[in-house]
Each structure stands twice: as C-alpha cells, then as structure tokens.
Structure 1
Amino acid sequence: MDETSHRARIDQLVEPGERVLAHALAEVGGGLTPPPPPDDVAPDAPGRRTVASVLLNLLVPLATWHGGDRLVDLIGWGTAGRGAPGSAASRLHRALNPARPDGKVRHTLLAVTDRRLLVCVTGAVKVLSNREDDERALAETRVAWSAPRAEVASARVGWHRLNPKRLRIDFTDGSWLAFTVPIAESGRPLRAVAAALSA
C-alpha cells in the first residue's frame, strides 16, 4: 500500500470540514507499555507466582505469562509508554491491542487533523499479499481511537536504543506512548506527524 492510498482512506474517515495535516504508518514501539484501563484488568497474584512466571517465560519463550512478558519487554526493549490505568496512553494502547485479539495482523495508521489525533487500524493483512488483499485491508481501515488536539501535550521523534525513528506522543494527563517504523523505512512521515501535533 502506498502513501496516496492511505491518505485517500483517511480523507474518507474524517468528519466533514476536517483537514488532514499529516499521517504515518507506524506500530506501537516494543517494550513496556501502560497497564490496561481499570475495567480490563485481570487479577494478578503478586509474589512467588510472578517470579516463577518470569523464569518460565525465559526458559520456555513460547509460554507466556503477564508478569514474565512485562519483565522481558522491559529488559529487551525498554519502555514504550507510561501512564496510569485509564490514562490516554492506556486507552490508546488497549484500543490497538484488544483484550481478546483474534490473532490477525493489522497495521496502525496515525493521522493528525486540524481538530484531533486519529489512530486507525487496517483490516487484516497477509504476509504474502497481492493487490486485492492490500485494497481489501485498506477498505476495512477504521478509526480505533481518537483524541482532541488539546489532549496532546507534545510529540517528538528521537533515538531510542538503536532506532533513530521513534515517535513519542505525550498527553496532558502525563501519560505517553511511543510509535516506531522499521529501521529500513523513512522517518519523514513520523516527523511530519510530530510537527503537526506540536504546531
């Protein structure tokens, strides 16, 4: 899918009179992210169970436990977001990573308009896709989360470990979430999103 196709679909998703300033295809950065909103939190027993889950996660990577996953993310990738349960970053992350995923891969599309920040999700994508598959995924793109521009405190693109193209979006409630693109892709769209949000 090319940039023109993304822009055309975003133009269909915005409200009448709303002007798109920038957009970028990106994914939530790897690492520790904000906890889910309070209504999505599953009870987690602290103590020895968490230590055991961390050890099992390291010994058996295909087996996953919440506590072990979070520690491995922190060590391997660092922090990709912070915020209290129910904060803007927490709600955004949950919108992109639902509690009961269907196992299908979707891309995330950020868009900044003169009124709000839109975070869109494409339809399911295939690893070896053809033009029809790409068009179908694009046609199924929907707005997963949005926030008024007033809720965004700042946005900037900078280095994080070995990736020079990490977009950090800070919200007025003190939470933040990071987005990245693969190393081989241009960081120009992310910088355009950051500039549009900071203007």
Structure 2
Amino acid sequence: MKERYWSAGISWLVHALGMRRNPLRRPVDRLVAVALLGLLVVALTVVPLLALFSGKAEYAAQRREAAVIASAQHVVDAVVLTNPQMVGSEPGGGASVRAEVGWTGQDGHPRAERAEVPSSSHVGSRVPVWVDGADRVAPAPPTEVTSIASATGTAVGVLVLGLLACVGIMKTVRAVADSWARRRWEWEWVNVEPDWTGPGRG
C-alpha cells in the first residue's frame, strides 16, 4: 500500500515538473511541484542537520554547566545519620532517596543536612555529597550519561518537529494550489459554458 502511494506521488511529481509532456499540465502544478521538491530536500537534509546541531549544542551546554558547577563545588565524604526515605521521583523517572548526612566542614566544624543518597544506603554508610563553598549541600553536576540523554532528546525532538512542519507545509501548499486551481477552472467554465450550451448547440 505504501509503495503504491510513493509511486503515485513520484509519478505526479515527474508529471508536474514537466518531465513528461502533457497539455493539461497547469503552470500552478509546476510551481507546486518545485515547492514540494524543495520541502522534501529540506526534510531529508536540513532538518536532520539541524537536529544534529541542536543535539551537539545541548550536549556542549550540559558539559559546560557541569564544569562550572564542579569548579564552584566539591565532594565531601559524608556519613548517613538517619534512615533514608523516598521523597519523590527525579525528572529521569528514578526514585529520589534522602537522609540526614554529616561531614566535617572546611572550617573543621561538623556539618549536617539532608541530602540525596543512594537507595541502598543505611545509617552509618559513607556517601559522597556535593557541597558549595559555604559547606551547604548542592546539586551534583550533570553526569556524562545525563548530558547524552538530554542531547539525544533534544535532537529527536527537533527532528520530529521539523519533519512534521515540512509535512504540514506540504499539505498546505497542495491544498492552497488545488483551491486556487478549482476556482480558476470555475471562472474559465463560466466564460466557456455559454458557447457550449447556447442556442444551436445540442
């Protein structure tokens, strides 16, 4: 079924571009064919390149963010002080587990805060915790896996939206051209019809 649609579409495009001689071919058919061919080229070349560029840009932005966070924060070796509790879900779909953790601050004084910990943690476990310059718990920088996942999602999103936009524009072009051609034929028939149906005909 799909092969038949593709064959019909290619046949129409070849006809509309003037590769086959046909006195019934309208000028608007050729204009529409050129526009559709251009949109097809855009869909097959420009959109994938734009998606690839967007994905790379997102990945680079994620890694820059990770570098900035890592330069302003550091990891401390903390001890889990309370039983971990699940408090919700993370954006990626995993469980978020938090517990009270304690560590020695840069000033040598003990510090304690609630922080995200591995789900397998228990009281007395030692866990790495990211803290800022003021010894406050801070979000960890994006990991390599997170950056790749974000970049992939961005690229796929741009690709899908770009292809849908091209298909939508193609349909709009065809609809506008067909509407214009129909009105043109109706106008021409109004002028020709009296000669065909007037007195002496039939």
Structure 2-normalised TM-score?
0.18
Q: Which has more strand, going by share of residues?
A: 1
Question: Larger Cα Rg: Structure 1 or Structure 2?
Answer: 2
Q: Which has more helix, going by share of residues?
A: 2
